[in-house]
Structure 1
Amino acid sequence: MVSRKANSIGPQVLALIEDARIDLARAALALREGDNEPDFNLPEDCPDQVDEEAVEAFRQGLIQTLSDFDQDELRPAEQRSRRIRSLADSKGATSLTTIVKQQLGDDQSLEFDRQPDRLCRSIWVYLNARETFEDAESFHFARQFRDHGKLYDAFEVDLENHVALDAVGIDEAVLATRIKELLELKPEISCTVKALDLPATDAHPASIMLIVRHGGPLSSVYNHRHDGRRATIYYRPPNEATLIYTPSLRQIEICADNPVVRQTVSNSFAEVALGQDLSQKPLTWKRYNLTRFRTSLLLQPPTIDGYELKFSRVVEAEVRLGHWGRKLQLKVTVEDNIEEVADQYLGAGNIFQRAEAFSRIGIAVAYNRVGDEKERTLNITIAGTKSCNLQSKADPEDRSLGFDLLKEWGILSAFRQISPDDLRAIFPQLVQLHDRVEDEVSGGYLLELGLDASRLIEGGLLERRDRQDVVLIEEDDLDGEGTIKPSATGGMVRIVGPFGEDAGKRPASDVEMYTINAQWLHETLMRLMKPLLSRLAAQILDPDLTLLGTIQVDGTEAPIYFARRLNDPKTAQRLDLALRARNSAGVGIILAASEEMPSHLGPNVVMPLLSHLASADDEILFARDGLELAYRSSLSLARGGVSPRVVRTSTQSGTLYIPGKEPLHLAGNDQLTIFERLVVAAGQGSPDIQVKALMDGFDSRSPQQAFRKEMWESIRDVYIGTGAKRGYWRLLVAGLTTKDAVESPIEEPV
């Protein structure tokens, strides 16, 4: 057994050294895939495989060599080892073999089969057929991505006739061109499509898988150079979407980290590969809401034109217990009352009555068609929020009846794109929703905003979650947290006080919880702001900051950004730091979702987005004249103003202005007071302040302690520097006489 004394070596690398044939393990670890990876200088001469002692000594030598490197240097090798071992496990190995059989030629396939075990086969493909290895990874994850709710969508195709289709029949080049066109990718960004046939398994019917790869929007990171300074590295991240089309189910499933990409790729596939006229029959994006079964597992047969229903009963119910790996499932016959069976064998108040989330529901329906004496049955199975077996029904009337029933019971809601006019009407509320720190929101909050939760769910902007467990009570005689309990009154819940007091009832809709689809909401807001731009150049710089493009003001192109959560001082300071690193872009405009905000961030004018909306009668959403006027009014301050000063926008937030320098956002009274004292000293003609006087009244003894490390490094010797004597500090003002420096009182932002 290999010694595990080397703490810097990760478990995946150690397992690879222990378990793989030594020549393949050595080749995988010696591989360098970038300049950031060190050269381990591993020995090249591997021992004979039959000499066990020599092989064991070689393994120990590899560990000894790698133990001289730290964890950061070994991280790429650890990630590579993890990928290789994932395709050597049972299902991973099956995925790898399936793709290898489709893609590799006879000679390579023979060499693949010669490898002694699954781990060696995985390493061999990684080393000799990288593209095939990556396609196998996509295939391996594709069968699992139904559990990844935030990355996964399912669309149902409404085709009158079955379309015979296989991977060979898909024109990959035409499909890639169409996807690139709809995603509005720039000419220099490539888009590739690869189609593969997936054979039928015990769990899944035969399918077709598409792997779509394209470059994402430009992004950047800071790189710490050897001289201690920062440098910005720009890169284009690779984006991938994996689509599975199952002809027998008439269903498209897709996994990608962007909702726009998921919908666009699915639409492109239906249009190009299936020949569907999306203008007449758009893809149906459906959600199944199983929350009604919290209160009752009984279903009453509704009235459906053209059908006579004998009964409809829940025959299967499944809930997850804590996490996906634990579940409780109950199955009964159509003659049983599932609620009575649950009470009898699981006890009153059982988990099905208290369930927060159902993962599977089976429904049996007995019926006959009007004018037809034949008795028929229909079985409906719903798995989670996005999967239903109705699309696999060969009879279109069965499919239609099943979906009508689910709609009548309030289980099915189909995606309906919200019209541009409706989105314009609720734009202010959507901005407030996007500005929230939390991505979960209650029904009560949505009601305060005047938003219809069901309509936002249909539009893909919200998804249902569980109910709140507790609410805050602020009554005259009650104060604290109240617990939510079921109520005998339909549509209401009871609130029980902290000591068991009756705190009354509330509408159940107020305590329903929803998850904001943050990416889809962001994309929606971007589309609505697009007409404002003279040039589109979308780039996500930070989760809270997006470069939209440019706007033309007085004949010049000014960059324009969209920022949220600027009412949080930490967020504002982080974005200020990022924008000062982009000073070459010139003075720009930041449209802020927040009402409370700094007046400037870096060399940019910050404006409240909702204060510059046009009237409802205007075609464009924004009042452009007001934007331009606010920009011109703040342009001088964005360049530092005419004299040093600190402008407080609140007791804990403000901005330092120095002529010729970018404005500096300050957060916290300590930072503000330090620079106020430096500005006063500069204005009095004695710019140097002893550190004791500068830090008077503070717990810290150095101005450095009032700032985060990254910010201090960016302002030291730029805005603040040491004085002529040791232990003194001064404001750094270039080309300005001290008589021009003035102290600034608390002012309102421009």
Structure 2
Amino acid sequence: MREKKITREVFEFLLRLCEQSESRVSWNTLSETHGDIIGDVLASGFLKQGPNRNTVLCLTADDEFDVPVERDGTTGRFQYFHPEAGFRPVNPDQLRQYDLGLERFITLIAAGIGVPASQRVELLLEDLLWDLGDVQITRRTIPIFFVRRLDAPGNYERVHDALGEIGGRTGGLVMTSSRRLNRHIDVPGGHRIVQAITCMKRDSRYFEVDRAALSNFLGFPVPREGFSSDFRTAIINGESYRFTKKQAAVIEYLHQAGTPVHKNLLLAQAADTDQKNVIDLFRGGGKNHPAWGTLIRHDNRGHYWLEY
């Protein structure tokens, strides 16, 4: 299932939540601290209903402390006992908590990097380390891992040992949700540890991985971006593409249009072909062209455009 786009701001919030021990947030925190994005956060689908809180904060003239919540035996409503004012009602919203769906969130990151959907994310250490799979970066196959709470006591040692037991996959990236990364730490296998937030495109409103940044982290040369004069080759977001003459005509037409184009117009004016569907031009040998679904995007109404 392809996830719908989420904004960079929502992604950064989820990434911070990923660093918390239980990856849990209360309704109060969401509404009071992140009120401007609460709708987008909940609509993203990455939060699931967690257990209700069983205490609330009680404020007195001289102190503040947590007190237990109970149900009124007559009305069934939530309440707590205030030492100065007796029983007070509790809004059920105050008790709500949400948990981050870690597996789904990690899968989003894997898809954003370009790991094929056919590769399933593998859990290596419970709630700590995941193997996202292998991805092609500048024509090289690179293993990608994700770790959370790397700076929590004992976690680095566990991750170090787990990666040391993996054979045959070296020179990859270990992405982490941590924002406090000791630059002197390293892991076996020649893998490089990078903060996930630094792998995001800075100028995009949405969550998008900067593949040129990944190349840079790996020490690979970053090729010049753009299209060749005949549109037969392209380097977009660090990825190299080659096109046939008819494919290049479609790419050039979409590039010049700058907006979604209907397939009928695209096939008639750009490709000079009898094909009925655009995908037929970008499919061969039983698989789609690497640009399909990444550089070339479409909706369910027959419109196509380029996404850089």
TM-score (norm 1): 0.24
Q: Which has the higher contact order (CA 8 A, sep 6+)?
A: 2
Residue 131 of structure 2: SS of its match in structure 1? strand
Q: 1:495 to 1:576 in 2, by over 3 A?
A: farther
* Counterpart among 52, 55, 73 of residue 466 in structure 1: 52
Q: Structure 1: where are the runs of 5+ without partners?
A: 1-181, 183-416, 634-750
* Counterpart among 103, 126, 141 of residue 522 in structure 1: 103
* Counterpart among 10, 19, 42 of residue 456 in structure 1: 42
Higher helix share: 1
Q: Structure 2: where are the runs of 5+ without partners?
A: 221-308
Residue 430 of structure 1: SS of its match in structure 2? helix
Task: State the Cα deviation string for residues 677-709 of structure 1 (Å, max 9, x = none).
Answer: xxxxxxxxxxxxxxxxxxxxxxxxxxxxxxxxx
Q: Which residue of 1 aligns with 2:215?
A: 628
**In 1, Cα distance between the equivalents of 2:157 and 2:19?**
17
* Counterpart among 138, 157, 178 of residue 594 in structure 1: 178
**In 1, Cα distance between the equivalents of 2:63 and 2:181?**
35
**In 1, Cα distance between the equivalents of 2:140 and 2:89?**
55
* Counterpart among 57, 63, 69 of residue 478 in structure 1: 63
**In 1, Cα distance between the equivalents of 2:138 and 2:90?**
54
**In 2, Cα distance between the equivalents of 1:441 and 1:469?**
15
**In 2, Cα distance between the equivalents of 1:618 and 1:458?**
15
Task: State the Cα deviation string for residues 594-630 of structure 1 (Å, max 9, x = none).
Answer: 2234543333211111233213537761222233323
CA contact (8 A) 2:56 2:67 kept: yes
Q: 1:616 to 1:562 in 2, by over 3 A?
A: same
Task: State the Cα deviation string for residues 118-153 of structure 1 (Å, max 9, x = none).
Answer: xxxxxxxxxxxxxxxxxxxxxxxxxxxxxxxxxxxx
CA contact (8 A) 1:594 1:608 kept: yes
Tell me the amino acid that sits aligned with residue 54 of structure 2: Q
Aligned-residue RMSD, C-alpha = 4.2
Q: Which residue of 2 aligns with 1:532?
A: 113
Q: 1:631 to 1:620 in 2, by over 3 A?
A: same
Give the structure with higher Rg (CA).
Answer: 1
* Counterpart among 9, 28, 31 of residue 444 in structure 1: 28
Q: Which residue of 2 aligns with 1:607?
A: 194
CA contact (8 A) 1:471 1:484 kept: no
**In 1, Cα distance between the equivalents of 2:175 and 2:105?**
16
Matches within 5 A, 1:284-299: none
Q: 1:472 to 1:454 in 2, by over 3 A?
A: farther
Q: 1:507 to 1:552 in 2, by over 3 A?
A: farther
Residue 548 of structure 1: SS of its match in structure 2? strand
Q: Which residue of 1 aligns with 2:267?
A: none
Residue 173 of structure 2: SS of its match in structure 1? strand
Q: Which residue of 2 aligns with 1:431?
A: 15
CA contact (8 A) 1:439 1:516 kept: yes
* Counterpart among 113, 125, 142 of residue 542 in structure 1: 125
Residue 466 of structure 1: SS of its match in structure 2? coil
Deviation at residue 492 of structure 1 after TM alignment:
10
**In 2, Cα distance between the equivalents of 1:467 and 1:453?**
21
Q: 1:571 to 1:509 in 2, by over 3 A?
A: farther
Answer yes or no: is 1:582 the counterpart of 2:169. no
Matches within 5 A, 1:374-389: none
Residue 445 of structure 1: SS of its match in structure 2? helix
Q: Which residue of 1 aligns with 2:96?
A: 513
Deviation at residue 563 of structure 1 after TM alignment:
1.3
Residue 625 of structure 1: SS of its match in structure 2? helix
Q: Which residue of 2 aligns with 1:420?
A: 4
CA contact (8 A) 1:588 1:605 kept: yes
**In 1, Cα distance between the equivalents of 2:115 and 2:208?**
15
Deviation at residue 568 of structure 1 after TM alignment:
1.1
Tell me the amino acid that sits aligned with residue 571 of structure 1: N
**In 2, Cα distance between the equivalents of 1:582 and 1:472?**
51
Q: 1:476 to 1:453 in 2, by over 3 A?
A: farther
**In 1, Cα distance between the equivalents of 2:187 and 2:58?**
36
CA contact (8 A) 1:614 1:620 kept: yes
**In 1, Cα distance between the equivalents of 2:53 and 2:172?**
43
Deviation at residue 425 of structure 1 after TM alignment:
4.9
Identity %: 18
**In 2, Cα distance between the equivalents of 1:535 and 1:580?**
25
